[in-house]
Amino acid sequence: MTHLLVFIGAGLGGLMRFLASTAVQKACNGWVFPLGTFVVNITGCLAIGFLAQLAESKNLLQPEYRAFFLIGILGGYTTFSSFGYETFQLIRSGEFVYATANAVLQVVLGLFFVWLGTVLARLL
């Protein structure tokens, strides 16, 4: 059942990301900065922080619904929220080296692999 909830949530989250990002970008009327993606990432981080804290401190979400919202909907909406939450959890646990490594490596290696993928595709 949890797998199905994550699947459905991811579809809903992806649709929400598309609608929100497109609406914000249209409202910016040709702005070069990708504000639509920026807004989605920031609101996703706010949502995962809020929902995860409620789930932890108030025990409001059963595990399958926690998976539906946090992994499904927010994972479909933006994986950046998961990245932010996991990095925050490392900081909260006092694992500053791992938190820093996670943040730096994901950003730097992510950009590197976007570049590498572009280079590889150009070879075809």
Q: Are residues 86 and 118 in the same domain?
A: no
Q: Could you tell me if 84 and 105 lie in one domain?
A: no
> What string of DSSP letters covers 39-101?
HHHHHHHHHHHHHHHHHHHT--S-HHHHIIIIIIIHHHH-HHHHHHHHHHHHHHTT-HHHHHH
Same domain (yes/no): 73, 102: no
What pLDDT is attached to residue 79? 82
- Determine whether 55 is exposed, middle or buried from the number of CB atoms within 10 Å of its CB (0-12, 13-18, 19+): middle
Tell me the residue range of the domain where 112 lies. Answer: 96-124
Structural domain total, the chain? 2
75 and 47 in a common domain: yes
The predicted structure's pLDDT at residue 4: 97
Please give the pLDDT value at position 98.
96
pLDDT, position 20: 95
Per-residue pLDDT of the chain (124 residues; tens, 9 = 90+): 999 999 999 999 999 999 999 999 999 987 878 899 899 999 999 999 999 998 888 888 899 999 999 999 999 999 888 899 999 999 999 999 999 999 999 999 989 998 998 999 999 8
How many residues are recorded in the chain? 124
Q: So what's the pLDDT on residue 61?
A: 86
Contact 1, 62 (CB under 8 A): no
CB atoms within 10 A of CB 6: 20
Say what the pLDDT of residue 13 is: 97
The answer to whether residues 61 and 118 belong to one domain is no
Contacts of 55 (CB under 8 A, 6+ apart): 61, 66, 70
CA 36, distance to chain mean position in Å, is: 14
pTM comes to 0.79
What's the pLDDT score for residue 94?
97
